[in-house]
Structure formats: structure tokens, C-alpha cells
Amino acid sequence: METIPVTNIDPGLSHKAIAGLVRHDRVHTSLYTSPALFELEMERIFSRTWVWVAHESEVPEPGSFKSSFVGTQPVIVVRDRKRNINVLLNRCRHRAATVCEHRRGKTNNFVCPYHGWGYGLDGSLRGVPHPESYGDALDKAELGMVRLRTESYGGMIFATFQEDIAPLSDFLGPAKKWIDLFMKQGAGYPIQATQAHRFRFPGNWKIQLENTTDGYHFPIVHKSFLSSVDKQTEEMLNFVDGGGYVEDLGNGHSVMVMIPDLVDLEENLEADIPERFLSLAQALRDEGHEEMQVRRIVRAVGGSGFNLNLFPNVACSMAFFRVLQPISVRETEIHHVAIEMKGGPAIANRARLRLHEHFQGPMGFGTPDDAEAWERVQRGAGSGDDLWIMLNRGLPGERPGADGPRSDVSAETGMRAAYQQWKNYMTEGGQGV
Amino acid sequence: MSAQRINEVVSFLNLEADMLDQGEFDSWLTLWHPDGRYIVPIEPHCDDFENILNFAFDDDAMRRKRVQRLYSGESISTTPRARTIRMLARHRILADTPSRLEVRCAQSLWEYRKGKAQHYVADLHYQLLPQPEGFLIERKVVRLLNSDGYLSSIGYIL
């Protein structure tokens, strides 16, 4: 095995040296620990690919905005008067101050608090106080807020600094049909992204990226959660020996199907309603919903039976959006964004919120145990001299799937997909798509 | 408001705080009315907790499950459990009727686990039901100062 030290990596990492850190079945521990690699990731991955910034429901009206990040760079996602969505670098073109420190809201414009430069909702520089001192030296057309290229699919808004990148649609590829399936959890109502559980853990962002496509850990790490649900739900979530699978969807994306019966939420609606939803179903009937719509809504409340992991920063994960934001090589912020059915029955949306609270967030019965495991990965990764992260689970059983290599539900196929994409970007062989 | 009444309230809330710091969670459960709600909201200015996402929105069953999880040894984030020390102060009784007492106070809590100490400050807002002896908790709302920022795992009861 080639010897590559965990520490003291040459800051002038060559493409060849970086390529040597990612094998088909393992990655080098320095991917979690090297500040030099982290800096390169921000430049070569987060500044060059499509990065998720918001869901369209978060900026519903002209003037609605949301603060977000592309890598470590703050951006504002805002809908303008023509209803176009703009993603603007949150930085005044004068002396760099951020022009917005609100998480979300509604505004007519953005005004820098330092010297009062004012920008339209499309980022154009509208006016500056006391312009006479500039004479002819102020070219307003040149000094709009930096706009990122922005495209959406299925309501999911992505932005990129890379103007000449291939369209989002190409980047998502086969992931698009999984996004379509995921959005069925609106049960016919529009999807509404609502509040999020936000928390940080002391570990590298890729540890979290891996976890979304890691079925292997579920019965181990989430034993206490499984003990807190009814028997039927526990059996459903004991999926490691089941018929699910993980499939590489290309471009670093992957899907992990934990519960095959819940891939398409609108199929087989005649199946028995799970016990945990019987009282909700009856309450919906009592509100006058038709039987098939009751079943559709109840399905939606439970969420999809898969996690769609989109490289590099978002996942459509059962019933919520998982967003990761790298802070530093050893710190990551996670948002678990709850999803509601906009205009749907309040009792059903409440049920979704309670399910989200049960597992997710810093006080949930699931997330804190995940975070503990991730933190331990980072601590452990600080030891040893030339050790590797093993990603070979499920390799022997891997076969061609519909869109890429597929293996069993606890295979590390999705992680292998993500790290190959990482390698493409980091060695600058994967620009564009 | 008599000094004796304030003393009764403060003593009851101190008892609850001490139970939580000492890990006497089964005893803590007995302080609650069966219809009581334990709520840790995210949004600072919203009172419609039922229709919005919270960190915790526990009815009796969820409180029992939360306690069970802390005792079970099945959860790696709570085994070993974080040590906590909390101080309550600045009590203000907002309403006092024969059937219900409302009180708000400040909580300063230190957590220590695996070499790392963290500080959480919160406003606690209680609705208490007076009993022949003491009170039962009808609602406890823990408004963390940084609830709409980012938190770390909280493997205990605030």
C-alpha cells in the first residue's frame, strides 16, 4: 500500500497526490483532517458545482428572501418582482460588508448598512449616497451584487459560481426521477419547507455526507429510537436484512432504498394503514376526506422509503431535506428542514412535525446519536499514521442497476460514488459535469 | 403576592431543577399533570407550538420515552450522560388564580461531557396547577437564548 502520511500533507497537493487518496474501495483519512484539502474543496467543489441553496417555497413572493451559503460563502436567495429567483453573494461591492443579516424575510431592496449603497432584488446597484465625489468613476452597471448562476428542479434551487457549467438537469441526471418521487409526499398539496433543526458537530462534512447513504449504522446507532416506536414501525425500520438497495446515480449522487414498498407513495394505496397512523386516518375521514385521499395523506405523513443523497450538500431524506454546510475541516453545520403539505390538513401536518421532532434535531431520539458517532469518527481519525477509511462493504454483490452500480441496502456503494466525484473535482477532471 | 407563595413556587421549581441535575427522571415524571406539555421551541416569538417545529413537544407518552431513553443505556449520546448544573433565578409570577399559576424565570445551565463544557441560558415559562400539597406542571416552555441559532446535541432534559 502506498504510504501517505495523515499529517503534514504538502500544501501544494498535486492532482496525482490527491488522486492517490481515493481508491475504489477506500479513502485516505486525511480527507477528514487536512486543512489544505478543505481549502481546496471549497475552491474546487463548492465553488464549481451546483450547490443547493433553498426550496422555492422558502421564497414564495416577490421580495421574499432567505440567507444561505455556497460552501463557506454567504448568499441571499431572493425572488424579484418578475418572480425570478436570484442568488446573490451577500457582500456590498463597495467595501464588502454583508448587506443582509436576517435569516429570512421580505424586502423591497438591500441597503448596505455601512455607507448606504442600495441594491435591487436582482442585485443591481440602484444608488449610492452623495455620488458627486465619484465624478465619472462609478460605473453602477459594473458594481451590482455578484449573481450566481441559478437553476431549479422540482422546487429545489441550486446555484453555482461556475458560469459555464452544464445545466442542473444534466448534473442531476437520474436523480431527477427520485426527486419527483420524493415530492409525492405533498399528497397533492404543494411541498412547503418550514423550520429546520440546526446543529453543529465537531467533524468533517463528508462524515455527514456518508451517513445519509449508510444503512449499516441504523439498527446499531438508533437502537434507542427503535425502542421508542411501536413494534410494526420497528420492524419496518429494521431494513438491513430487507430487500432494499443502494444505487450509484452518477455525478456523486446515490439513492438508498430502505423500504421498497414506500418508493412510490401513491402505489398500492389499498395496503393496510400502519397502526401508528390509524387514529390519524380516522380523524381525516371525520374531516370529510375521501378514503383514497386519506390514504394518500397518511402515506405522505410517513415520508418516502428512501434517502436521495445529492452531492455535495443536500439530501431528500425520507421526510425532510438534509442540508450540510461545511464550517471548517473539523466542524459542520446540519439543517434538517421539516416539510409540510401547504394547505393540507392541519392534523396531518402536525403529525409530520411530531415525527420530525421524535427523531431529528439536537433533542431528537436519533440525531444526537448520529452526531456522537460522527464526532467519534473525527476523533479517531486524528490517530494513526497511514490508515484508511474502508468503503468496501457490498462490493462483491454489486451489479449494474437501472442507472449505475447497485448493491444491498447496507452497501457503501453511495459513499464510493460520492468519493469518485470528489476525486474528479479535486483533480480538476470533473469540471462541468 | 405573599412571600410565602413565592417561596412555595421557587421551592417547587428548585426541586424540579435538582431532580434533573441529579438524574432523578422517574421522580421528575411525577411532577407532571398527565395532560402536561414539555416544550422546547425553536422560534422565539411563536406561541402556537403545536403547529410549528420545536426541538421538543412532549406529551406524557413522549416524556416517558425520553426518560426511558436516558435510563436505557442504548443511546451512545447519553451514555455516559452529560453532567449538568443549572441555576434558576429572576422569578416573576405572571398570574396566580386558584386554578393556575404562571411563572417565568431565568435558567443558566452548564453541561459537561467528554472534556467539553457548554453553557445554555434560557427563559423558563411554567403553567402550574396548585395541588393540596405543592403543584403539578401543566406546561413548561424552555426558550433557549440561541434557539434559532445552531445547537449541539442535548442529551438530557433542559
Task: Compute the average pLDDT of residues A247-269.
Answer: 97
Q: If pLDDT is split at 50, 70 and 90, which confidence band does A34 have?
A: very high
Report whether A123 contacts A21 (CB < 8 A).
no
**pLDDT of amino acid A136:** 93
Task: Compute the average pLDDT of residues A163-191.
Answer: 97
* Angle at the Cα of B136 from the Cα atoms of B133 and B137, rounded to 5 degrees: 155
Alpha helices in chain B (DSSP H): 3-22, 25-29, 60-72
Report whether A381 contacts A29 (CB < 8 A).
yes
**pLDDT of amino acid A385:** 82
Is the pLDDT confidence value at A170 over 70? Answer: yes
Closest partner CB to A333 (pick from B68, B150, B154): B150
CA distance A323 to A313: 6
Give the residue from B39, B76, B154, B158 with the most A CB atoms within 10 Å of its CB, the best one to mutate. B76
Task: Compute the average pLDDT of residues B65-71.
Answer: 95
Residues β-bridged to residue A197? A336
**pLDDT of amino acid A429:** 81
**pLDDT of amino acid A28:** 96
Q: Which segment of A67-81, A89-103, A230-244, A351-365 scores lowest on mean pLDDT?
A: A230-244
Q: Which residues of A touch B (CB under 8 A)?
A: 103, 194-201, 221, 223-224, 227-228, 333, 338, 346, 349-350, 353-354, 356-358, 361-365, 367-369, 371-373
Q: If pLDDT is split at 50, 70 and 90, which confidence band does A13 have?
A: confident
Q: If pLDDT is split at 50, 70 and 90, which confidence band does A12 have?
A: low
What phi and psi, each to the nearest 5 degrees, are found at residue B80? -75, 150
Task: Compute the average pLDDT of residues A88-101.
Answer: 98
- Peptide linkage before A312 cis (omega within 30 of 0): yes
- Average pLDDT score over chain B: 96
Q: Annotate A216-269 with DSSP letters as a single string.
A: TTHHHHTHHHHTTS-HHHHHHH--TTSS-EEEEEETTEEEEES-GGGSSTTS-T
A chain contacts of residue B72, beta-carbon cutoff 8 Å? 224, 227
Taking a contact as any Cβ pair under 8 Å apart, which residues of chain B between 34 and 73 contact chain A?
A: 40, 42-43, 50-57, 62, 65-66, 68-69, 72
**What sign for the dihedral angle of Cα A379, A385, A387, A389?**
positive
The predicted complex's ipTM stands at 0.96
Task: Compute the average pLDDT of residues B27-53.
Answer: 97
* Contact state of A194 with B53 under an 8 Å Cβ cutoff: yes
**pLDDT of amino acid A433:** 37
**pLDDT of amino acid B2:** 82
Is the pLDDT confidence value at A5 over 90? Answer: no
* Contact state of A365 with B149 under an 8 Å Cβ cutoff: no
Report whether B89 contacts B104 (CB < 8 A).
no
What phi and psi, each to the nearest 5 degrees, are found at residue A120? -75, 175
Condensed to tens digits (0 to 9), the pLDDT of residues A356-388 reads 999 999 999 999 999 999 999 999 999 998 899
Q: Which class for B77: exposed (0-12), middle (13-18), buried (19 or more C-beta within 10 A)?
A: buried
Condensed to tens digits (0 to 9), the pLDDT of residues A100-111 reads 999 999 999 999
- Average pLDDT score over chain A: 95
Residue type, A154: G
When computed from its CA atoms, the radius of gyration of chain B, rounded to whole angstroms, is 15
* Contact state of B40 with A363 under an 8 Å Cβ cutoff: yes
Helix (H, G, I), strand (E, B) or coil at A289: coil
Q: If pLDDT is split at 50, 70 and 90, which confidence band does A353 have?
A: very high
**pLDDT of amino acid A63:** 98
* Contact state of A371 with B65 under an 8 Å Cβ cutoff: no
Condensed to tens digits (0 to 9), the pLDDT of residues A223-244 reads 999 999 999 999 999 899 889 9
**pLDDT of amino acid A103:** 94
| Smallest CA–CA distance from B113 into chain A, residue | A372
Closest partner CB to A200 (pick from B52, B53, B150): B150
CA distance B71 to A239: 26
Q: If pLDDT is split at 50, 70 and 90, which confidence band does A432 have?
A: very low
Please tell me the distance in Å from B3's CA to the nearest CA on chain A: 36
* Contact state of B153 with A368 under an 8 Å Cβ cutoff: yes
Is the pLDDT confidence value at A8 over 70? Answer: no
**pLDDT of amino acid B21:** 98
Task: Compute the average pLDDT of residues A131-158.
Answer: 97
Pairing of strands B32-41, B135-144: parallel
